[in-house]
Amino acid sequence: MVVWVFAGGGEAEVRGLIPFLQQNFSNCKFERKTPARQKPGPKPGKRNSYGRTGQSLIEQIIKELPIALRYEPNKCNLILVFDDLDCRTPEVQVNEILDAISTIRECADIQKLVGFAAPEVEAWIIADWSNSIAQHPDFRGRHNRMRYWLSQEKNIPFNEPESFSEYDEDRDCCR
């Protein structure tokens, strides 16, 4: 089974998602269609970002999927869209993605699956503080002060890290 993967986000999606999927679903061949891997050597003054999320990911899929279907017809068995949820409502986001893909007639017979990385990576770092930040060489001397500041001044609940943020309508993501 050939699975085309359209993923939003950044470094974790670029480097980790496909190997994770291959390890856990060995009966499938996963081909990443987005995000595109950046060429080596950052350009001066340019921010290094890989993928898109939310509406911009949907727009990227609408652009890239027809190209893939044109150059590799009848190859894909499943379209997997994987994005950050960014405090959005899962059902609404799934419908937006599937509605947009449904406008591409050439993929009408291809199965589609939408998944989200929720809670955010940041929540996992907070949940496993002792094995993430506390172990990182750049933070060893300061991680206790960071934890105190996050929990007391920013009200981040370390015992319930997935609830650490709320939706920001202006930016269409978590605060």
Q: pTM for the full model? A: 0.70
Domain 2-118: give its CATH architecture: 3-Layer(aba) Sandwich (3.40)
Determine the pLDDT at residue 18: 85
| pLDDT of 19 strictly over 70 | yes
pLDDT at residue 40 is higher than 60:
no
Residue 67, pLDDT score: 94
Exposure b/e, 147-169, CB count within 10 A at least 16 = b: beebeeeeebeeeebeebbeeee
Tens-place pLDDT, residues 79-119: 999 988 777 888 999 999 999 999 999 999 999 999 987 55
Residue 128 or residue 108, greater confidence: 108
pLDDT > 70 fraction of the chain, expressed in percent and rounded: 78
Residue 142 in tokens: 């300061």
pLDDT over 50 at 56, yes or no: yes
Query: 125 with 134: CB under 8 angstroms?
Result: no
3-state secondary structure (DSSP) of residue 35? coil
Q: Kindly state the average pLDDT of the residues 22-51.
A: 71
Look at residues 161, 154, 158, 84 and name the one whose alpha carbon lies nearest to residue 123: 161
Domains of the chain, residue spans: 2-118, 122-174
Check residue 48 and give its pLDDT: 46
* pLDDT > 90 in the chain, percent: 34
Please determine, for residue 157, whether its predicted confidence score (pLDDT) is greater than 50: yes
pLDDT attached to residue 118: 58
Q: What is the mean pLDDT of the chain?
A: 81
**Which of the four pLDDT bands, split at 50, 70 and 90, describes residue 64?**
very high
Mean pLDDT confidence for 63-81: 94
